[in-house]
């Protein structure tokens, strides 16, 4: 998982308030129940000495969200009297919580968000096509590619005295339209760095477009027999493909981790070794269980100021080390050095991985 989108969260000094609010309304007194749930979270923030201006900012956002009934759940990060991030959730959060700490508590958000990929959906026919591009952040762009309709699109019936000429013209038009769509698919795929391209529509039109797409783009394509971008069945097929892509990526990183660890090369396991690698900027991919670990670390104001005990940080010149969740501290360190995150399902055979990392390089002895 690319963590670069988290960097703005870490530009604000703490304390940071992290809120996961359940705003769902499933009963007759739903509005009152949602308000009471928010009041309970607000009390938790007060008990943790959340700064008053930050609490007011959160209160205003949640109250507005309740009044407008715009979401089932809300995740908020606030600091310095401002909302740094507000994200609506399609479902209530798995765990409702509110906490104040030196760093934002992002792991539940990342777990719910999941791995995301830029992808494209292309629906084609013999007249052209429609392309929908979706970035990893969910931004959408639609590109319509109209074909050339100045010439016949359909072949004429057998027996027409001009049959062969019209058939040739129709086939040439199909090919020309497919070429236009193929060129646009190539351009869009490279621009958005699409990792999945689903091509749907008429089978002959699909085949014609696939022949026009460059080999480097074609390797990311899958096909569907659906004919509309908004078709629920097409969306269901797309979801299955994206889920499979996510599982493949997790498996590939986990396999690489185990291979490198067995060699004693570019991988480390366990909290102390992972902390040292994070401090040195070595981590290419941080691996965490999806379990909620109680492990704690000590942090300073800078991302690489991270240690297993406060005295170690003081030796590095941090006057006032703060205790924080281990996952929050490691995610900040990795995000700010352009590393990634993989949330690995815990293994049935043991207590799980805990903390580990695939490294960009090994430390010099």
pLDDT on residue 126: 82
pLDDT of residue 161: 46
Q: In sequence order, which residues have a C-beta less than 8 Å from that of residue 250 and are 6 or more positions away?
A: 115, 342, 343, 344, 345
Q: Quick one: CATH architecture of 4-113?
A: 2-Layer Sandwich (3.30)
Q: In what order do the strands lie in the sheet with 119-125?
A: 140-146, 128-134, 119-125, 196-201, 221-224
Q: What's the confidence (pLDDT) of residue 349?
A: 40
Kindly report, residue by residue over 47-92, the tens digit of the pLDDT. 999 999 999 999 999 999 888 877 789 999 999 999 999 988 888 9
| Residue 127: pLDDT band with limits 50, 70, 90 | confident
Average pLDDT over residues 90-102: 92
* Among the ranges given (148-152, 214-218, 259-263), the one the predictor scored with the smallest mean pLDDT: 148-152
Q: E strands along 241-305, which residues?
A: 267-269, 283-289, 296-299
Confidence of residue 136 (pLDDT cuts 50, 70, 90): confident
- Kindly state the tokens that stand for 195: 């990792």
Task: Indicate whether 151 pLDDT > 60.
Answer: no
- Residue pLDDT, tens place only, 241-266: 999 999 999 999 999 999 999 998 89
pLDDT(225) > 70: yes
Residue 2 DSSP code: B
Q: What are 3-35's pLDDT values in tens digits?
A: 988 999 999 888 999 999 998 876 666 778 888
Does pLDDT of 350 surpass 80? no
Q: Quick check: 285 and 315 in contact, CB under 8 A?
A: no
Confidence of residue 165 (pLDDT cuts 50, 70, 90): low
Kindly report the average pLDDT of the chain as a whole number: 88
Q: What does DSSP assign to residue 27?
A: S
Residue ranges, CATH 3.30.960, the chain: 4-113
Q: Judge whether residue 172 has pLDDT over 90.
A: no
- CATH classification (class only), 119-245: alpha beta
Range(s) within the chain of domains with CATH label 3.30.420.60: 119-245
CA atoms within 13 A on the CB side of 295: 20
What pLDDT, in 10s, does the model give residues 178-200?
A: 899 999 999 999 999 999 999 99
- Domain 264-359's class? alpha beta
* Residue 149: predicted pLDDT: 59
**pLDDT at 166 > cutoff 80:** no
Q: How high is the pLDDT of residue 28?
A: 60
For the chain, residues classed under CATH 3.30.1330 are 264-359
Residue reference for tokens 């102390």: 272
Q: pLDDT tens digits, residue range 268-317?
A: 999 999 999 999 999 999 999 866 788 999 999 999 999 999 999 999 88
Is residue 162 very low, low, confident or very high in pLDDT (cuts 50, 70, 90)? Answer: low
Helix 203-212 vs helix 163-192: angle between axes, to the nearest 10 degrees?
A: 60
348 pLDDT higher than 50: no
Give the model's pLDDT for residue 14.
Answer: 85
């Amino acid at each position: 998982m690319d963590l670069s989108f988290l960097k703005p969260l870490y530009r604000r000094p703490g304390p940071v308030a992290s809120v996961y609010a359940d705003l769902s309304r499933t009963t007759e007194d739903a509005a009152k129940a949602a308000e009471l749930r928010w009041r309970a979270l607000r009390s938790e923030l007060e008990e943790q000495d959340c700064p008053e201006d930050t609490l007011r900012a959160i209160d205003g956002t949640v109250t507005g969200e309740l009044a407008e009934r715009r979401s089932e759940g809300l995740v908020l990060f606030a600091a310095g009297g401002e909302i740094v991030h507000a994200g609506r959730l399609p479902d209530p959060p798995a765990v409702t919580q509110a906490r104040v700490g030196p760093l934002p508590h992002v792991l539940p958000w990342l777990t719910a968000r999941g791995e995301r990929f830029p992808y494209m959906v292309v629906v084609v026919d013999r007249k052209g096509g429609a392309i929908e591009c979706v970035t990893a952040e969910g931004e959408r762009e639609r590109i319509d590619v109209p074909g050339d309709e100045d010439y016949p699109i359909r072949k004429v019936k057998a027996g027409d005295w001009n049959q062969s000429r019209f058939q040739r013209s129709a086939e040439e038009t199909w090919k020309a339209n497919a070429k236009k769509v193929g060129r646009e698919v190539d351009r869009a795929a490279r621009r958005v760095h699409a990792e999945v391209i689903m091509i749907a529509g008429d089978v002959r039109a699909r085949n014609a477009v696939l022949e026009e797409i460059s080999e480097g783009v074609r390797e990311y394509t899958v096909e569907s027999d659906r004919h509309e971008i908004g078709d629920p069945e097409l969306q269901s097929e797309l979801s299955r493909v994206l889920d499979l892509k996510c599982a493949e990526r997790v498996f590939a990183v986990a396999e690489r981790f185990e291979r490198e660890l067995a060699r004693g090369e570019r991988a480390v396991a366990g909290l102390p070794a992972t902390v040292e690698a994070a401090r040195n900027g070595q981590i290419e991919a941080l691996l965490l269980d999806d379990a909620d670990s109680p492990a704690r670390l000590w942090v300073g104001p800078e991302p690489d100021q991270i240690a297993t005990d406060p005295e170690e940080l003081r030796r590095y010149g941090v006057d006032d080390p703060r205790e924080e969740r281990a996952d929050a501290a490691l995610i900040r360190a990795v995000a700010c050095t352009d590393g990634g995150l993989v949330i690995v399902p815990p293994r049935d055979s043991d207590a799980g991985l805990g903390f580990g990392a695939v490294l960009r390089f090994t430390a010099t002895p």
